[in-house]
């Protein structure tokens, strides 16, 4: 192991050991101060695995082999690392914990760890190779710098003499856009790393690519139980990505470290979350996935556009060019919910409790009564809508970005909603709602700091092209 790098990590652990073990926020702040110079990527990777609590699980492990398998699986699922990057990050952490002349916080179980590959940063060899197979055509980038090497769709290239350490791989299309979120991999000295660069985001990522188009937002005057705030108007929507389901309790806890939900279940929607909680989650998950956060959150200034009586009025601005996670706009939400339909629900003129979770004692338009489950249920418990999206009707209300305000009758292009207001929009209805509240056009609202209701959740969106 490189003595200089080990010395840096040893000093961090020695000076801030208690912080690293017990306070993730301070841990990240401390390590970020060291994330400069030639070892900045190694430190970034160490930040990630420490934030995930991997060091604690290694310390407490009774079977390091099984623990490593679990950690690798969790890093893939919760932090979106490739399998190779997840395995390498855990191996790096174990190496640091086992270092004889290094870290003072050494796990007993780690003393018996078996490292099956050459340690990173050791020996005289300081470079490795990367074999890259790409689903898409474009210019190869390493650490954000063009290599001058073009790759064909489904093609393979080998890049030699890559400096050992954590390296970022991406492909840039002819239009200048990065076609895929950069992948972080660990290049081992003297070895070849194999990596697949995938195409645009697909269903397998938990997101659906929603193709842009024009639709009529709102409801016709003839729709049963429509609201007066559902004035029909044409809207043009740009392409975007939308989560197949709402954020689960497992996903929320992996990022935020807490689970505020009333109805516990790792695959149930997270609820009892405010609009501000959802905004913070979006940014933190973006950071963990090495994406640019969408929102700038200023907790020192009250939002001049917030006319609510909330005690929390953080000033939040939206960078629409950022590639991170965000809340959908109200327009995007209804467009995706309808999935090309013009009926009250994506299921047609009626919806039953075999199709969505709501209070079946209050069916739609005098239909037969159904089940009242009186709580949330696991996501994806019902069939998806025609576009592959789950639970847009019922289970939990979903926060949108927009302030609640009146619609305009004018033709608009992906409008972001009102510029100010007292309430933020919620959509979709919940487990406790009447069937009429699940209509695609129905508009709900709540103050952005509200989190005391156990029927408020959210799903993620991202702008298209990443």
Please give the helix or strand (H or E) that residue 316 lies within, else none.
strand 314-318
Residue 458 has pLDDT above 80, yes or no: yes
In angstroms, the CA 318 to CA 403 distance is 13
9-13, 45-49, 171-175, 340-344: the lowest-pLDDT one: 9-13
102 — pLDDT class (breaks 50, 70, 90): very low
**CA triplet 431, 370, 223: central angle to 5 degrees?**
75
**What pTM value is reported for the model?**
0.62
Cα 449 to Cα 161, 277, 313, 399, 456, distances in angstroms: 52, 8, 8, 11, 11
Residue 303 has pLDDT above 90, yes or no: no
Residue 324 has pLDDT above 50, yes or no: yes
Order the strands of the 412-413 sheet from edge to edge.
213-217, 233-237, 412-413
Residue 28 has pLDDT above 60, yes or no: no
Residue 114 has pLDDT above 80, yes or no: no
pLDDT of residue 112: 30
In angstroms, the CA 250 to CA 214 distance is 35
pLDDT of residue 19: 43
CATH class of 127-197: mainly beta
Cα 177 to Cα 133, 173, 210, 283, 466, distances in angstroms: 19, 6, 18, 21, 8
In angstroms, the CA 85 to CA 99 distance is 21
- Write down the mean pLDDT value for the chain: 79
Per-position DSSP letters for 232-276, written without gaps between them: -EEEEE--EEEESSPPBHHHHHHHHS----SS--TTSBP-S--HH
82-91, 96-105, 229-238: the lowest-pLDDT one: 96-105
Alpha helices by DSSP H, listed for 309-416, are 330-338
The pLDDT of 149-173, averaged and rounded, is 78
In angstroms, the CA 66 to CA 52 distance is 17
131 — pLDDT class (breaks 50, 70, 90): confident
Alpha helices by DSSP H, listed for 151-248, are none
Residue 156 has pLDDT above 50, yes or no: yes
115 — pLDDT class (breaks 50, 70, 90): very low
Residue 278 has pLDDT above 90, yes or no: yes
In angstroms, the CA 457 to CA 262 distance is 12
418, 347 contact by CB (below 8 A)? no
- All CATH 2.60.40.10 domain ranges of the chain, comma separated, are 127-197
Cβ density class 26-55: b for 16+ within 10 Å, e for less? ebbebbeebbeeebebbbbbbbbbbbbebb
107, 63 contact by CB (below 8 A)? no
Residue 300 tokens read as: 């020192």
pLDDT of residue 449: 92
183-227 tens-digit pLDDT = 667 677 777 878 777 665 555 578 988 988 899 999 999 999 999
In angstroms, the CA 347 to CA 233 distance is 22
Range with the largest mean pLDDT of 21-25, 310-314, 431-435: 431-435
pLDDT of residue 116: 29
In angstroms, the CA 77 to CA 254 distance is 10
pLDDT of residue 13: 52
- CB neighbourhood size of 88 (10 A): 23
45, 55 contact by CB (below 8 A)? no
Residue 105 has pLDDT above 60, yes or no: no
Question: Right CATH number for 201-466 from 3.40.50.360, 3.90.1580.10, 3.40.50.720, 3.40.50.1820?
Answer: 3.90.1580.10
pLDDT of residue 31: 56
10 — pLDDT class (breaks 50, 70, 90): low
> How buried is 309 (Cβ within 10 angstroms: 0-12 exposed, 13-18 middle, 19+ buried)?
exposed
- CB neighbourhood size of 286 (10 A): 22
Residue 369 tokens read as: 């009564």
> How buried is 84 (Cβ within 10 angstroms: 0-12 exposed, 13-18 middle, 19+ buried)?
middle
376-431 tens-digit pLDDT = 999 999 999 999 899 999 999 999 999 999 987 666 766 667 888 899 999 999 99
- All CATH 3.90.1580.10 domain ranges of the chain, comma separated, are 201-466
More confident residue, 149 or 409: 149
């Amino acid at each position: 192991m490189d003595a200089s790098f080990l010395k840096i990590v040893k000093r961090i652990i020695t000076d801030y050991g208690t912080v690293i073990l017990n306070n993730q926020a301070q841990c990240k702040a401390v390590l970020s101060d060291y994330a400069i110079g030639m070892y900045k990527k190694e430190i970034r990777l160490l930040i990630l695995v420490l934030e995930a609590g991997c060091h604690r699980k290694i310390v407490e492990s009774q079977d390091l082999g099984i623990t490593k398998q679990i950690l690798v699986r969790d890093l893939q699922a919760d932090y979106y690392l490739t399998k190779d990057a997840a395995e390498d990050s855990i191996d790096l952490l174990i190496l640091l914990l086992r270092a004889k002349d290094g870290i003072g916080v050494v796990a007993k179980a780690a003393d018996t760890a078996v490292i099956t590959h050459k340690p990173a940063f050791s020996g005289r060899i300081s470079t490795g190779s990367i074999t890259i197979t790409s689903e898409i055509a474009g210019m190869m980038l390493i650490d954000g710098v063009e290599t001058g090497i073009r790759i064909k769709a489904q093609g393979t290239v080998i890049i030699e003499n890559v400096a050992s350490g954590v390296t970022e791989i991406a492909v840039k299309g002819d239009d200048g856009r990065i076609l895929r979120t950069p992948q972080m991999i660990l290049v081992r000295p003297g070895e070849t790393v194999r990596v697949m660069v995938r195409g645009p985001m697909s269903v397998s990522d938990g997101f659906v690519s929603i193709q842009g188009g024009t639709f009529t937002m709102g409801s016709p005057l003839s729709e049963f139980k429509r609201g007066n705030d559902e004035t029909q108007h044409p809207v043009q929507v740009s392409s975007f990505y939308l989560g197949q389901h709402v954020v689960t309790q497992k996903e929320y806890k992996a990022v935020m470290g807490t689970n505020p939900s009333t109805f516990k279940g790792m695959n149930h929607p997270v609820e009892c979350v405010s609009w501000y909680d959802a905004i913070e989650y979006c940014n933190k998950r973006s950071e963990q996935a090495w994406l640019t956060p969408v929102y700038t959150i200023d907790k020192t200034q009250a939002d001049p556009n917030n006319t609510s009586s909330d005690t929390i009025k953080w000033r939040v601005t939206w960078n629409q060019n950022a590639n991170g996670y965000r809340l959908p706009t109200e327009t995007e939400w209804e467009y995706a919910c309808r999935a090309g339909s013009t009926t009250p629900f994506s299921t047609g003129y009626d919806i039953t409790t075999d199709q969505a979770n709501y209070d079946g004692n209050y069916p739609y338009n005098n239909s037969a009564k159904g089940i009242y489950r009186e709580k949330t249920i696991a996501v994806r418990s019902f069939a998806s809508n025609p576009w592959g999206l789950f639970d847009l009707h019922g289970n939990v209300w979903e926060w949108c970005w927009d302030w609640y305000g009146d619609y305009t009758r004018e033709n608009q292009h992906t409008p972001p909603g009102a510029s100010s207001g007292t309430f933020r929009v919620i959509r979709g209805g919940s487990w406790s709602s009447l069937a009429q509240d699940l209509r695609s056009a129905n508009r709900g609202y709540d103050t952005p700091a509200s989190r005391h209701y156990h029927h408020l959740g959210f799903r993620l969106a991202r702008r298209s092209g990443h």
